[in-house]
């Protein structure tokens, strides 16, 4: 078993083995390595599986923080192991996941359309409510057309891989979401990265690309771990100067930034300078799925070239109706966004007053930097025991040495809940030597 000090220096999700690998000739059926076959060559494909130890080591320390089971609705408080816990790890920024009108909309959709579409949008899986939702989203983000995908991950994977071809380039911020990275790697173009929000580096990359080549710059509007906002005006200025298109991932900006929660482009008044706006439904909009918004010709092209769209089942009726209901509430109750920002300010100022480092966060996502893997896991565990749920973020979610607990606010958090959390976070932070 590794010491805590040794474990704290490795990448939790991508670490190599800490014990010798299991012998390849072990054939006892109870102890046989996964994939080993009696009398045949060993399946070396599974060596990485047999050699993976990091999760088991953290479990043995009693600090494993993932796949925690919740037995209640996602709300400002949840139930874990029969105990009420304050939820500070949810992306439900507007607090709509348990809203009665939204649950009624889901029930009504199931009554009318059933539970699934049994096919892709391309073939038999397009419902009239899919079109209704696409039109509503297009009005929100002020684009000609919208295309729905079954998950937000599929949007980035499907859009980037379809648009960036051979001899073309896709440029991405190093802190962009993993789904953007996957989309860039799946494209046939050249994938170029630049330092986080480093506009000089972005310009340098653009300057060294053939001026005639197709270029797409993809950035998060709100970065999901750091909580900071891309300097979109400068991105758009460089894009125009060097003949590049801009795509903004607004997964964490819809319902948070911009007019009526329309996102980052709206926040900066740059809707017309951003060619592609992406959003998801699993955060502010209380459902599951995602969308891309653009001009009508681009959307039509994606309908016929985006493989994750064409070869995946469409959004379920309940999920689609849920988003429509959530949009209506977001637009009719602007006080929710205002309350979200009041809660954010209260928590932000409280954490700063306690002495925590929040980096450059400027949104409801508040990273509390621990900069140590084991300390991060301990912080998470002790907070849960004290009645506060937070998310630990370690490599590869952030670079080694930048480990944090990630706090996210909801519009439905009360002052009492925030103050309770600050009290627990402060006391445990001191106990762990983080303050």
pLDDT tens-digit readout, 127-145: 999 999 999 999 999 999 9
Kindly report whether the peptide bond that precedes residue 110 is cis, defined as omega within 30 degrees of 0.
no
Task: Note whether 77-90+334-431 and 100-332 share their fold.
Answer: no
Share of the chain above pLDDT 90, in %: 89
Query: Average of pLDDT values for 258-263?
Result: 98
What does the pLDDT read at residue 41? 72
| Burial label, 400 (beta-carbon count in 10 A; 0-12, 13-18, 19+) | middle
Measured in residues, the chain has a length of 435
Q: Which residues are identified as catalytic?
A: 224, 252, 283
What does the pLDDT read at residue 26? 38
Instruction: Tell which CATH classification among 3.90.1150.10, 1.10.3720.10, 3.40.50.2300, 3.40.50.10490 matches the domain 77-90+334-431.
Output: 3.90.1150.10
Nearest residue to 383 (alpha-carbon basis) of 364, 405, 362? 405
Query: Average of pLDDT values for 2-6?
Result: 51
Contact (Cβ atoms closer than 8 angstroms) between residue 290 and residue 121: no
Kindly report whether the peptide bond that precedes residue 93 is cis, defined as omega within 30 degrees of 0.
no
What does the pLDDT read at residue 12? 56
Please state the domain extents for the chain. 77-90+334-431, 100-332
3-state helix, strand, coil in the chain (%, to 5): 40, 15, 45
Fold of 100-332: 3.40.640
Query: Average of pLDDT values for 317-329?
Result: 98
Question: Each residue of 332-360: pLDDT tens digit?
Answer: 999 999 999 999 999 999 999 999 999 99
> What torsion, rounded to 10 degrees, do the Cα atoms 307, 310, 315, 316 define?
-130
Question: Each residue of 283-303: pLDDT tens digit?
Answer: 999 999 999 999 999 999 999
* Residue 13 pLDDT > 90: no
Cα atoms in the Cβ-side hemisphere of radius 13 Å centred on 58: 24
Query: Average of pLDDT values for 235-243?
Result: 98
Place of tokens 């979200």: 340
* Residue 202 pLDDT > 60: yes
What does the pLDDT read at residue 176? 97
* Residue 394 pLDDT > 60: yes
Sign of the Cα pseudo-torsion (121, 124, 125, 131, in order): positive
């Amino acid at each position: 078993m590794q010491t805590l000090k040794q474990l704290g220096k490795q990448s939790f999700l991508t670490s190599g083995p800490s014990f010798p690998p299991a012998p390849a000739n072990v054939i006892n059926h109870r102890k046989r390595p996964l994939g080993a076959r009696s009398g045949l060559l060993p399946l070396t494909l599974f060596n990485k599986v047999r050699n993976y130890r990091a999760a088991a080591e953290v479990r043995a320390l009693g600090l494993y923080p993932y796949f925690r089971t919740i037995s209640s609705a996602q709300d400002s408080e949840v139930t874990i192991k029969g105990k009420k816990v304050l939820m500070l790890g949810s992306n439900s920024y507007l607090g709509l996941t348990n809203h009665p009108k939204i649950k009624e909309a889901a029930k009504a959709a199931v009554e009318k359309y059933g539970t699934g579409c049994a096919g892709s949008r391309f073939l038999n899986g397009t419902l009239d409510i899919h079109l209704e939702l696409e039109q509503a989203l297009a009005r929100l983000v002020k684009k000609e057309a919208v295309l729905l995908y079954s998950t937000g991950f599929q949007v980035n994977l499907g859009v980037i891989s379809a648009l960036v071809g051979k001899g073309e380039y896709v440029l991405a911020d190093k802190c962009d979401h993993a789904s953007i990275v996957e989309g860039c790697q799946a494209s046939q173009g050249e994938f170029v990265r630049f330092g986080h929000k480093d506009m000089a580096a972005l310009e340098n990359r653009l300057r060294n690309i053939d001026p005639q080549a197709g270029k797409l710059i993809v950035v998060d509007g709100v970065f999901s771990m750091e909580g900071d906002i891309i300097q979109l005006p400068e991105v758009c200025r460089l894009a125009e100067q060097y003949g590049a298109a801009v795509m903004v991932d607004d997964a964490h900006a819809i319902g948070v930034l911009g007019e009526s929660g329309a996102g980052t482009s709206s926040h900066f008044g740059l809707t017309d300078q951003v060619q592609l706006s992406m959003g998801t439904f699993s955060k502010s909009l209380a459902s599951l799925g995602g969308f891309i918004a653009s001009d009508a010709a681009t959307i039509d092209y994606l309908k016929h070239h985006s493989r994750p769209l064409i070869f995946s089942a469409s959004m379920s009726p309940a999920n689609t109706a849920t988003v429509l209901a959530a949009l209506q509430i977001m637009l009719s109750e602007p006080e929710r966004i205002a309350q979200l920002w009041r809660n954010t300010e209260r928590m932000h100022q409280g954490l700063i007053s306690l002495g925590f480092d929040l980096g450059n966060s400027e949104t409801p996502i508040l990273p509390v930097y621990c900069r140590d893997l084991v300390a991060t896991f301990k912080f998470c565990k002790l907070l849960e025991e004290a009645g506060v749920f937070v998310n630990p973020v370690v490599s590869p979610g952030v670079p080694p040495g930048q480990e944090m607990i990630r706090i996210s606010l909801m519009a439905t958090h009360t002052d009492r809940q925030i103050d309770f959390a600050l009290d627990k976070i402060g006391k445990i932070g001191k106990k762990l030597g983080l303050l």
